[in-house]
Amino acid sequence: MIEGMTVNYYERIQKSIDFMEDNLENDIKVEEVAKEAYMSVSCFYRIFFAITGYQAKEYLINRRISRASKDLKEEQTRVIDIAMKYAYNSVDAFSRIFKKITGCTPSTCAQGIYQYRFERMNVMEKYFASVDQEKLEQYPDIKVLSDLPQMKVAYYCFYGKNPESEAFLVMKQWVLDNKIDYQNGDYRIFGYNAPDSDATAEEYGYEVCVTIPEDMEVMSEKIRTKTISGGLYAVTSIEPKGNLGEEIAHGWKRFSEWLEGSKYVYGEAQWLEEHLGFGDDFEHLGGVDLYMPIKEKTKIEELEIIEEYIDPFTVATYTATGRGAEVEARKYLFSWAKEQKIDFANEDVRIFAFYNFERINKPDYFYKLFIKIPENMNITDDKIKKEIFAGGRYLRRQVKYKVNGPSWFNFIQSIEQSENYSFGEQPFMEEYLIKNQIIDRETDIIQHMPVMTTLLLDSI
């Protein structure tokens, strides 16, 4: 591995292609090519095919025959000399593969009647969009994948505590039972949080999927199929060293930092974790590529932050602490609201939360949930507190709950770098725009950031 550098698998495959191109006239082994890509042979076969659409040996043969065809036509060189030049031990072996690839004999090509062309591949130019040079220098590990194709997948989703291992266990059994050739075929293995679950909760859903051919039928009580939409993605690689889970979390956070000041915002497609490097028993041995969906900013998205002043209002609150605090608080306060016949569809009802997000999943983590109520409403439940939300000056923006965490990080960073605002003393608000008692990844939320303007600061 290159010291101090994280290289995504597209770059590794390009490095292997460059190595083959430099050795078209030499007898090289696939182990040498895989080594250039920092992969095991089995992993290399699978990833090379997934990215290029060709088996590695197939690519090498096609490039040699393409070069040989050009030499035969332009240089009028003897067939035996060309065969030896491109590492073939005999004219017969060379002629057989030449005719199989091109449909004609080397002698026909030498007469200038036909030339076979198979161009050198540059996967970085093919798949990746150009990035601002300053961003590239600051984040050399993050690339923009211009068009990830849509993929048909077989998948299994498990809900519970630490669901990743359980989901992988079921998919492993299906892959082995069905003799899926995940090492060498057109198969890729992805994982992601279930679209309808909250990964900050103690129990959530995680899906593991394997790409499959369009015409493949899946006959299983547990395994389902669907299509994952492709599109524009930012990509980075996580190496299998240290605590992989912590490194993955750091990678997602790094995406948020990269987005700040870029020409992109979060996209609507599925966030993906591609697991790479699997052994004979489907055990994960390699690293993980992270795919964050993005889209180019529009004028509306660039102007999405709005300043507002919130007047004080009366709220009912419930506070929970520790792991799973969100689930506990929502369950209790929403149940109370239902008993009080509070209609979430009423535009006067507002639901929002305040919590110490930097302590999520820690013992001292707290999650305080609020519901706006009439000022004269009487509360008899000892666990529900009646308070006045003080209000104040805020900046607001609307996002999907699935990008809530990274979006807050960006929001905070933008205030830290702002020349017009500084943080206010009042609590932030995370408001849920719901008409029922369900909060999921597709829920619209408004992030309210407390601020003071520089004008106010100068007068203090």
Query: What torsion do the CA atoms of 439, 443, 448, 449 make, to the nearest 10 degrees?
Result: 90
* Whether 46 and 169 share a structural domain: no
Q: How far apart are CA 59 and CA 48, in angstroms?
A: 10
Is position 383 within any domain? yes
If one counts the domains in the chain, the total is: 3
Q: Are 317 and 369 in contact (CB under 8 A)?
A: yes
Residue 50 is inside which H or E element, if any? Answer: helix 41-52
Question: Helix (H, G, I), strand (E, B), or coil: what is residue 281?
Answer: coil
* Whether 371 and 407 share a structural domain: yes
Q: Are 230 and 293 in contact (CB under 8 A)?
A: no
pLDDT tens digit at each of 460 positions of the chain: 333 334 567 888 999 999 999 999 999 998 999 998 888 888 788 888 878 888 999 999 999 999 999 998 888 778 999 999 999 989 999 999 999 999 888 888 888 777 889 999 988 888 787 777 778 788 888 989 888 888 899 999 999 888 999 999 999 999 999 888 776 656 789 999 887 666 666 788 899 999 988 888 898 989 999 999 888 999 998 877 778 888 888 888 888 888 877 888 888 888 999 988 777 788 877 788 899 999 887 644 454 789 999 999 999 999 999 888 899 999 999 999 999 999 999 989 999 999 987 777 678 889 999 999 999 999 999 999 999 999 999 999 998 888 787 788 778 878 888 888 999 999 999 999 999 999 988 899 999 999 998 654 444 4
Length of the chain: 460
Is position 132 within any domain? no
Global pTM reads 0.58
Q: Are 183 and 42 in contact (CB under 8 A)?
A: yes
Which amino acid type is present at position 379? I
Q: How far apart are CA 437 and CA 330, in angstroms?
A: 8
* Whether 274 and 314 share a structural domain: no
- The domain spanning residue 95 has which CATH number? 1.10.10.60
* Whether 160 and 262 share a structural domain: yes
Query: For residue 47, what pLDDT is reported?
Result: 82
Q: How far apart are CA 120 and CA 176, in angstroms?
A: 36
Q: How far apart are CA 79 and CA 91, in angstroms?
A: 7
* Whether 315 and 406 share a structural domain: yes
* Whether 181 and 240 share a structural domain: yes
DSSP annotation string for 396-413: EEEEEGGGHHHHHHHHHH
Q: How far apart are CA 234 and CA 263, in angstroms?
A: 12
Question: Helix (H, G, I), strand (E, B), or coil: what is residue 30?
Answer: helix
* Whether 337 and 259 share a structural domain: no
Q: How far apart are CA 173 and CA 158, in angstroms?
A: 14
Which amino acid type is present at position 53? G
Q: End-to-end CA distance of the chain, in Å?
A: 54
Q: Which of 69, 94, 110 is the last residue of a domain?
A: 110
Tell me the sheet residues that pair with 237.
289
CA pseudo-torsion sign 315, 319, 325, 329: negative
* Whether 264 and 338 share a structural domain: no
Tell me the sheet residues that pair with 386.
316
Query: For residue 454, what pLDDT is reported?
Result: 64
Q: Comparing C-alpha atoms, which of 69, 148, 141, 136 is closest to residue 108?
A: 69
Q: Are 154 and 175 in contact (CB under 8 A)?
A: no
Q: Which of 94, 110, 126 is the last residue of a domain?
A: 110
Q: Which of 277, 298, 319 is the last residue of a domain?
A: 298
Domain that holds residue 65: 9-110
Is position 357 within any domain? yes
* Whether 351 and 324 share a structural domain: yes
Q: How far apart are CA 145 and CA 290, in angstroms?
A: 11
* Whether 369 and 402 share a structural domain: yes
* Whether 227 and 328 share a structural domain: no
Other beta carbons within 10 angstroms of residue 88's beta carbon come to 20
Is position 271 within any domain? yes
* Whether 348 and 280 share a structural domain: no
Q: Are 174 and 224 in contact (CB under 8 A)?
A: no
Which amino acid type is present at position 207? E
- The domain spanning residue 361 has which CATH number? 3.20.80.10
Query: For residue 188, what pLDDT is reported?
Result: 86
Q: Which residue has the tokens 């030498």?
A: 110
Is position 127 within any domain? no
Is position 351 within any domain? yes
